[in-house]
Structure 1
Amino acid sequence: MSTVLFSISKLATLILFPLPLILLLLLIAGGKLKRWKEKFSIWIPVVILWIFSTSTVSQKLVQSLEIYYPPVTLDRVPKADVILVLGGMVSTLSKHDEPVELYNTAERLTETVRLYRAQKAPKILFSGGSGNLFYQEVPESEPAGRFLRQMGIPDSSLILESKSRNTSENVAYTLELLRERGWKSVILVTSSFHMKRSVEIFQGKGIQLIPYPTDFRAQKAVLTLDNFFPSTFCLENSTISIKEWIGILVYKIRHS
Structure 2
Amino acid sequence: MFLFLSKLLPVFVYPLGLACVLMVVSLGLAWWRSRWTALPIVLALGILVIATNPGVNTALLKSLEWHYVPEGRLPKAEAIVILGGALKFQEAPRRTLEVTERGDRILYAATLYHDDRAPLIIASGGRIGWHGDEPPESEDMAILLRRLDVPQGAIIEEPRSLNTYQNALYTKAILDKKGLNRILLVTSAFHMPRSVAIFEKLGIDVIPAPTDFYITDGSVTGTQRTLVGNILDLVPETGRLASTTEAIKEYIGILIYRLRGWA
Match of 2:120 in 1: 123
For residues 231 and 212 of structure 2, the distance between their equivalents in structure 1, rounded to whole angstroms, comes to 23
Q: Kindly tell me the number of residue pairs found equivalent between the two proteins.
A: 227
AA matched with 2:211: T
Matched, 1:106 2:109: no
CA distance in 2, matches of 1:53, 1:40: 20
Q: Which runs of 5+ in 1 are unaligned?
A: 1-18
- Which structure exhibits the higher relative contact order, with contacts defined as CA atoms closer than 8 Å and separated by 6 or more residues? 1
Aligned twin of 1:210: 207
Please tell me whether the aligned partners of residues 124 and 159 of structure 1 are also in contact (alpha carbons under 8 angstroms): yes
**Distance change in 2, residues 1:64/1:99 (3 Å):** same
Structure 2 counterparts to residues 112-151 of structure 1, below 5 A:
112-151=109-148
Q: Does the 8 Å CA contact 1:189/1:213 hold for their aligned counterparts?
A: yes
Write the distance in 1 (CA, Å) between the matches of 2:198 and 2:232.
34
Provide Cα deviations, 1:76-128, integer angstroms capped at 9, x if missing partner: 21111110010111013753564431111111111111100011111110001
Percent same amino acid among aligned pairs? Answer: 36
Instruction: Tell me which amino acid in the other structure corresponds to 1:165.
Output: L
Match 1:235 to one of 214, 225, 241: 241
- TM-score when scaled to structure 2? 0.78
Is 2:179 aligned against 1:198?
no
CA contact (8 A) 1:72 1:212 kept: no
Whether 1:161 and 2:158 are equivalent positions in the alignment is: yes
CA-atom RMSD in angstroms? 2.5
Match of 2:82, SS?
strand
Partner-residue secondary structure (3-state), 1:211: strand
Aligned-residue offset at 1:228 = 1.7
How far is the alpha carbon of 1:71 from its aligned partner? 4.0
The alignment status of 1:85 with 2:88, answered yes or no, reads: no
CA–CA distance in structure 2, aligned partners of residues 152 and 140 of structure 1: 19
Deviates more, 1:201-210 or 1:142-151: 201-210
Counterpart Cα distance in 2 of 1:153 and 1:98 = 22
**What CA deviation, in whole Å up to 9, does each residue of 1:207-245 have, x standing for no partner?**
221111111111244353453221121011111101110
The 8 Å contact of residues 82 and 185 in structure 2, kept in 1 or not, is answered as yes
CA distance in 1: counterparts of 2:128 and 2:71, whole angstroms: 29
Give 1:47 shift: 2.1
Distance 1:229 1:210, change over 3 A: same
Q: Provide the residue aligned with 1:189 in structure 2.
A: 186
Answering whether residue 258 of structure 2 is matched by residue 245 of structure 1, we say no
2:43 alignment partner in structure 1: 44
Q: Distance in 2 between matches of 1:148 and 1:207?
A: 24
So what's the TM-score if we normalise by structure 1?
Answer: 0.80
**1:172: which partner in 2?**
169
